[in-house]
Chain A
């Protein structure tokens, strides 16, 4: 006679044996599964979502939970949690504007050290990106490069055709201004750019330094910034911009209605246009390189492991998977124009496919060529302060007619005061 207890034991033993024989699906062996949290901001989350199934299949002992917050919130809560040392995500996605800050202040694991040994991947990843994720003083890699974003111009193909202009003839800022004048003269509500500030945003990202030189001294009174301000002012003074701030409803409508001829941005903007801003304009867009042979990085992000993370080993598995394998890098690119930072991914077939959204143009190849020509750009812990201050100086020039040199010198003084 079986007692009730021994019956239960027998059943349990049977179930366990069966599960072993059937290969132990992850659901049954739930105790061995580690759940890691990955904190990200849009549209990086679309990229992660696109690769999660594959990752779970290859790493059945890890489950990934995505935590998504909007751009500013994401970086602020990330900092707060790291400062508090609790409830930190296992993997933190950090955007380029914040990376200099995060990398140079501590609170994250050194990925060059044991057990990560990220140094072995250095040759595989685009050079400047690696440098940006590295701490200036120690040379340790803190933030693993995830994606880059070549700067590019999205123009309305249909509008240029109406003007009878060939895109190949537009190579300098002056060429664009000339075409802009023609376009604006055609009627009301027509502009070359939505906002003159985007001209500054483009030029200030060019060259091998952003706001600071290699010794950490601000360079915001240099020729680059003077030219960026002058060009923006010229566009404004000639009435070539709509004075429409980015990410506003009126800005979105310039995409739908084709009232602005060009938008300068990182390649990621294409994903936004195509996915939600103006999907019905398919076929009307073209992509070209920035004027004056500028090749710049405009966006992109990194992944890092906070020092207080609970599951560092699994977090590193995830980071390794998304950053050092061609397939997930390409899948993220397909999902949301998240441009690979892994050099091997550049050889993928996807770069030979043309896109209907851009009227049959092979835009990916163009971005790839641009990505290869981006110089090494440094980052600095005061980048986001500099961005605010110089951006403010620009509005003084554009709105209040302040002298350009004066505005830049004042900005430098303000910036030096805040570098404390």
Chain B
């Protein structure tokens, strides 16, 4: 007998080669089933029922969908979400693309330092962000208002404020039309670095030879950017914008900490995700809340398809063909 005692025990514990991989990946699937798939299916089931969280459920068919599609507050929340989405996505991607392009160029030193600093806001906790922005955006003691009041002494600035009927001190978190700008500002600050990293990665896949060829042909930096970088980055832009659509339409955390669970004055900061949370967990109308989640999901799919129409194609693969 060549086998000793120890190998006998390990032999018995050893898994069949066919089974082993499934055992090793099972933790993910078990967790996904419980926390991912089950809630998705259960809320789909709930969206056809009326349920207050405690009592009996009753099947109501499409009633919940009919109810929310005729609900003013629901459409208000959709409007707020879309406005915030537009206000933050456009600057986010413009800044991110520009920054990535600058960082990728040869003349920038300390690339790692800049990359890390731009990415820092993304990993900062929401509570810390809320405190900082509270200090920045405060009505009477906020830093931004203090700066604007100082700037207001300069005649051209004063003229600008007067033409736009902009009262100081501004109620960044109190006045409905400003609340959305404040939230969008926070989002832009937080996610520009994340998008920048995506674009930066995309830029590095573009072969240096293309840039060199352009330089030999005498192209300016602007021409290089619009004629080489942008077209070749199209798939990356598509990816980045899709992520923004998914993230911003489900927007919840940032407005929640900034203006509170009720969405602030005039519900200007009440996104659809916040409204469905309030309907479900505060008002106990879980059926209606679930139906909203599914309608929101459909909106995200539609917008993503539109995005695909706009940005699909292009990129390096097409170039090679």
Interface residues of A (CB under 8 A from B): 72, 76, 79-80, 82-83, 101, 105-107, 189, 242-245, 248-250, 253, 384-385, 388, 391-392, 395-396, 399-400, 414, 417-418, 420
Contact = CB atoms under 8 A, between A and B. Distances in A.
A310 B214 CA distance: 76
B71 to A, nearest CB: 7
Given A80-B53, A250-B140, A253-B141, A418 B283 contact: yes
Interface in B1-59: 50, 52-55
For the complex of A and B, the 4 pairs showing the least CB-CB separation, nearest first, are A107-B54, A83-B53, A105-B54, A76-B281
A395 B268 CA distance: 11
A277 to B, nearest CB: 16
A399 B176 contact: yes
Contact of A72 (B55, B261, B285): B261
B139 A243 contact: yes
15 contacts: A72-B261, A72-B282, A79-B284, A105-B52, A106-B54, A107-B54, A242-B140, A244-B139, A245-B174, A250-B140, A388-B278, A399-B175, A400-B266, A417-B71, A418-B285
A395 B138 contact: no
A72 B256 CA distance: 13
Given A243-B174, A388-B278, 10 more contacts: A76-B282, A79-B281, A82-B54, A83-B53, A105-B52, A243-B139, A384-B283, A399-B175, A399-B266, A400-B176
Interface in B154-176: 171, 173-176
Interface residues of B, number: 31
A388 B54 CA distance: 22
B54 A420 contact: no
Given A249-B134, A420-B50, A106 B171 contact: no
A83 B53 CA distance: 5
B75 interface: no
A395 B270 CA distance: 14
B62 to A, nearest CB: 14
Contacts of A420: 50, 67, 285
B73 interface: yes
B309 to A, nearest CB: 37
A283 to B, nearest CB: 25
Nearest to B266: A395
Q: Is the interface of B mostly helix, strand, loop or mixed?
A: loop
Interface of B: 50, 52-55, 67, 71-73, 134-135, 138-141, 171, 173-176, 261-262, 265-267, 278, 281-285
Contacts of A83: 53-54
Contacts of A72: 261, 282
Nearest to A75: B282
Contact of B267 (A80, A245, A392, A418): A392
Contacts of A245: 173-174
A391 B262 contact: yes
B273 to A, nearest CB: 15
B72 A414 contact: yes
B239 to A, nearest CB: 36
B284 A395 contact: no
Contacts of A249: 134-135, 138, 141
A396 B266 contact: yes
Contacts of A244: 139-140
Contacts of B52: 105
- Which of B54, B72, B140, B176 counts the most A-chain CB atoms under 10 A from its CB? B54
Given A105-B54, A243-B171, A395 B265 contact: yes
A388 B274 CA distance: 14
Contact of B55 (A106, A248, A414, A417): A106
Contacts of A106: 54-55
Given A105-B55, A420-B67, A388 B262 contact: yes
